[in-house]
């Protein structure tokens, strides 16, 4: 187990300075966990889309899992390469897409309602977008 912690420590030590890269890794880890959960069951996804749980199917849960996993991978790469404009902006876009999805489900499609399972990804998307917007000039060094 010490070897695993040592390897993780070595990887984290290669991140750019600051908390933002660590945050991106953290949200990626949560996303990967959520993906695994969605591949296994649609139970928690039905809590997220609480206004229309009957529209959550095993297929839609797996699709959501695949989408979340792909976004998590982009964020992992962004965490290690924030100095490159294209990676930083890809990281920003992952949160824009998530925010658009969740707000669309709340306001337009009516699939979500304001509850804990909804507020968590909404708060992560909003706070991450604000943070990344504020730190753009600090991290981006190359076009």
The mean pLDDT value for 119-141 works out to 97
d(CA 45, CA 53): 8
Write the pLDDT tens digit of every residue in 11-44.
888 999 999 999 999 999 999 999 999 999 999 9
The CA radius of gyration of the chain, in Å to the nearest whole number, is 16
Please tell me the predicted confidence (pLDDT) of residue 11. Answer: 85
Please tell me the predicted confidence (pLDDT) of residue 7. Answer: 83
List Cβ neighbours of 143 (8 Å cut-off, separation of 6 or more). 85
DSSP letter string over 14-65?
A: TSPSSSHHHHHHHHHHHHHHHHHHHHH-SHHHHHHTTT-GGG--HHHHHHHH
pTM comes to 0.91
Dihedral, CA of residue 38, residue 55, residue 50 and residue 35, to nearest 10: 10
Backbone angles phi, psi at 142, to 5 degrees: -125, 140
């Amino acid at each position: 187990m010490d070897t695993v912690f040592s390897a993780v420590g070595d990887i984290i030590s290669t991140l750019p300075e600051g908390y933002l890269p660590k945050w991106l890794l953290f949200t990626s880890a949560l996303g990967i966990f959520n993906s695994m959960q969605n591949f296994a069951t649609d139970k928690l996804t039905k809590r997220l889309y609480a206004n229309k749980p009957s529209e959550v199917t095993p297929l839609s849960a797996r699709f959501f899992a695949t989408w979340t996993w792909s976004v998590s991978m982009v964020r992992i790469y962004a965490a290690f390469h924030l100095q490159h404009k294209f990676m930083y902006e890809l990281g920003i876009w992952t949160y824009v897409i998530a925010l658009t999805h969740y707000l669309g489900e709340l306001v337009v499609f009516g699939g979500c309602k304001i509850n804990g399972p909804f507020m968590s990804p909404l708060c992560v998307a909003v706070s991450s977008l604000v943070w990344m917007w504020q730190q753009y000039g600090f991290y981006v060094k190359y076009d």
